[in-house]
Structure formats: C-alpha cells, structure tokens
Structure 1
Amino acid sequence: MEHGSYQDRSASTFSLADEDHTLANSLRFTLNQDPRVTVCGYSIPHPSEARVNIRVQTTGDPANEVLKDSCQDLMMICQHVRSTFDLAVADFKNNKGSGSE
C-alpha cells in the first residue's frame, strides 16, 4: 500500500497459493489474538482457485513480521494439540489393557 513517497509496511495483503479456509481461518484467529493487529481478514478470490488473500493491518509494526509471528504461534498450537492427542491415545491404550473402564 503506497502513501506518498513511502511504503506503509503496517498494512499488507498476502496471497498464499495452494491454500484454503483451513489455514486462512486459523491464521486469522492467531492474528486476531495479537495486540499489534488492528484489522485482519481473508478472502478466497474465486472458489475454483486454490488461493487465499490475507489482509493484515497493525498498530505500526511491519505486517510481514506480525504474520510470521502468527505462523509461529499457529505451529506451536498445532504441536501442543498433537502432543496432547498422542498422550491421550497412549493413555487410552495403556488403560484399555488393564481392564479399568
């Protein structure tokens, strides 16, 4: 987004190829948790196109850095969910054999 002779790095639209609502909605959620984000949203330009556009506006920090941080946060959330699930499955398998239900 151009303003005069400088580029405003606090507002950007990112286009992600080969993605859909799954990633876009998850990123929108993590972005909205960040206090540096004033506005964020996403759109799918056309249903037949595997592409999402994510719009990020911040309080002043570069939008690309905030998006990177949100991607890291999302990866940590996914890792936590995966490890919690794996532990629950292991616990279920261990308790199933002991006859305690």
Structure 2
Amino acid sequence: MATVEGATKPVLEVVQAEGCDDTSVTFILHDEDHTLGNSLRYMIMKNPEVEFCGYSITHPSESKINFRIQTRGYSSLTSSSEKWMILIICEEFHLLILFVGDSMN
C-alpha cells in the first residue's frame, strides 16, 4: 500500500460513472507515472476484446494515473477477476521498475 502523510491508501481504485454499463471503467493508480501508464496501455490494447484503453496524469506534480478501459461490449470489466488481473499487472510492473531502478544505482 502507498503511504501518504502517515495514512495508507490503496494502490488501485476503481471508479465507474453512474449509469455506465460494465464494459467501461476507470482505474486510478496511485504513485505511478508514464512508465507504467504507457506500458500497461500497450499490453491491454493487445487484447482483441478491448475497444479503447488510455490514460492521463491529472497534473505533473501528482503521481496518479487515471486509466480508462472500454471493451467491445461482450466482456465485463467490473467482474472481480478483471479487477484483480489489472491489479496484478500493475504490481508486476511496479516491482519490475523497482528492480531495474535498484540495479542501475
């Protein structure tokens, strides 16, 4: 878990707009930047069920990514298995970044 001012917060939040169906969802990834955002977007877009995948960083001083995924309509993103898959991918990239960063020092 990420720590901010002594409090813990989740690494991943799931946000779904009211009235939207299960084929689109926004994930908020804390303490991440373009390194993870672009890599994750690239890998997710390889899935033929994904119609749109993109991310934005709200402000350069914030290390938070808004990550949006939309499927073609026959795959639900709000099932718990999909959420855990995204979380696992994010954690793997995070560990890889930490490992590569430590080996370069």
TM-score, normalisation: structure 1 = 0.60
Q: Which runs of 5+ in 1 are unaligned?
A: 80-101
In structure 2, the CA distance between the partners of 1:73 and 1:34, relative to structure 1 (3 Å rule), is farther
Q: Distance in 1 between matches of 2:60 and 2:89?
A: 28
Q: Name the one with the larger helix percent.
A: 1
> Shift of residue 44 of structure 1?
0.3
In structure 2, the CA distance between the partners of 1:46 and 1:37, relative to structure 1 (3 Å rule), is same
Among 67, 76, 96, the alignment partner of 1:62 is 76
TM-score, normalisation: structure 2 = 0.58
Q: Sequence identity, in percent?
A: 42
Maintained 8 Å contact 1:19/1:52: yes
Q: Which runs of 5+ in 2 are unaligned?
A: 1-16, 97-105
- The size of the alignment, in residue pairs, is 76
In structure 2, the CA distance between the partners of 1:31 and 1:71, relative to structure 1 (3 Å rule), is farther
Among 53, 63, 66, the alignment partner of 1:40 is 53
Name the Cα RMSD after superposition: 2.8
> Shift of residue 54 of structure 1?
0.6
Report SS of the residue matched to 2:53: strand
Q: Name the one with the larger strand percent.
A: 2
State the one-letter code of the partner of 1:2. Answer: E
State the one-letter code of the partner of 1:63. Answer: L
